[in-house]
Amino acid sequence: MKECPSCNRCFPDQSERCLIDDDLLVTTFPVPPVLDSRYQLRRRLGQGGMGAVYKAQHIFLKTTHAIKVILPDLVGNDPELARRFRQEAMAAAAIRHHNVIAVTDYGLVNETMPFIVMEFIQGKSLQDVLNEIKRFTSLQALEFMSAVGAGMGAAHRRGIVHRDLKPLNIMIEDALPISEAVKVLDFGLAKIRSGELLGSFVAAKTTGIMGSPYYMAPEQWSDEEPDQRADIYSLGIILYQMLAGDVPFKGPSVPAIMKKHLMDAPPRFAEHGVPVSPGVENVVRRALEKDPDRRPQTAGEFINELREAVTTDYATRRPTQTAGDLQPETLISPTSRDQLAGTISDQQSAGVRSTDAFRGISDAQILFEAQRREAEVRRRQEEEAARWRANKEQERLEAEARMRAAEEALKREAEEAAQRAAEEEQRKQEAARRAEEEQLRLEVEAAARRVEAERQQRELAAEQQRQVEAEARRRAEEE
């Protein structure tokens, strides 16, 4: 099969150019254009380390599907791996929850290339939504996480641990409320905890580390067998990213990210300048506990804690305006509503209405008051974050001043030590010079004494010679 490099549409091998773009076709994956004599591949939607995902149409039923084809070199010639993949596909299909992507079929191409058939979702991923709106309010995050948690709870009840939860694996279908639009997909890394449904075929072809580094629980970095609480940790990372606009643990390499997951506490939202209530922050930090026993033990428990924190946060902001002062606005703007592909669900609105503070008040009033109160809290928390940043900046400046003072003191000490060393060297040189002069003086005096002694000896010898000659003359005269 060939593909268009521009639009990724699929064509038979004998085709040369794309009928839409007129681009030259290229051969990519060794996949036939029709799978199992039923599914006509139309266009490649994406690809990764496991294989490729195609948009396909059932030839007879004319229904649209998404088909994931697994790369042949991942499976190799081991029929056991293909069997396990089939069992995992069957288990994922058995979840049957509206917040989990539906797996409808499974097959093999040439007995070596597994593929799974899923429902096709027209929409965007949570990652795309995060790229567009950057940050969610706590109420928006609650709605999304409630839907994701419901799907994950259904999987966990069947003993399925996802292991690779991340925004890219959460789809939002167009034109549906969030509670129905959210779909968790890609259980390809899931590990089934029952009977022979053990291990993913990926584990046999990789180093054993399964998942995306930014979202992996601490126990996934070791030899420990992760359970559903690893997915709770990943949900906590996603919730953190939705509220803060970024993941809590980042680094220049996978080992650096791993070290932060294992050792560091997540940064507080104030460090990002994000106003989040203490109750919601506590829920996030509990989900990100290093010890799985200290996290919520189920997805339902995690969502209930988040709902209680958000509800309490809004319930404490008792409305002060009269009904006539309130405008029928919602927490989600029209633009955000389109981006989020849904609205605040009836279930979540009912959860907020159940508090005494909001009893008897309409949805529009609740959400408008929540918006006003949240803006006030955001303003106060932004001021607190600004003061925190100012204090940190002041501390930084003071630390830099102390560092400069220490450097100057060290420099002065070094200069004084150098000066003392120079003076000591000068004293040594002066002492050496004086010693040389003294030695020279002593040598000169010794030479002078030798000369004087020699002179005295010559004079004595001359005097003795005169005496001898005088004595000789005297004897000569006497004779």
- Residues marked active site are found at 164
Rounded Cα distance, 413 and 401, in Å: 18
Bridge partners (DSSP) listed for residue 89: none
Q: Which amino acid is at 429?
A: Q
CB crowding 177-202: b at 16 or more within 10 Å, else e: bbbebbbbbbbbbbbbbeeebeebbb
- Outline where DSSP puts E strands in 110-189: 113-119, 123-125, 160-161, 170-173, 182-184
Alpha helices in 183-251 (DSSP H): 228-244
Q: Are 286 and 295 a contacting pair, CB within 8 Å?
A: yes
Q: Are 351 and 311 a contacting pair, CB within 8 Å?
A: yes
- Outline where DSSP puts E strands in 242-349: none
Pull the structure tokens for residue 344.
């605040």
Q: Are 226 and 217 a contacting pair, CB within 8 Å?
A: yes
Bridge partners (DSSP) listed for residue 35: 39
Contacts of 111 by beta carbon, 8 Å cutoff, 6+ apart:
82
Rounded Cα distance, 248 and 237, in Å: 7
Q: Is 72 left (phi over 0), alpha (psi -120 to 50) or beta?
A: alpha
Return the SS3 of 409.
helix
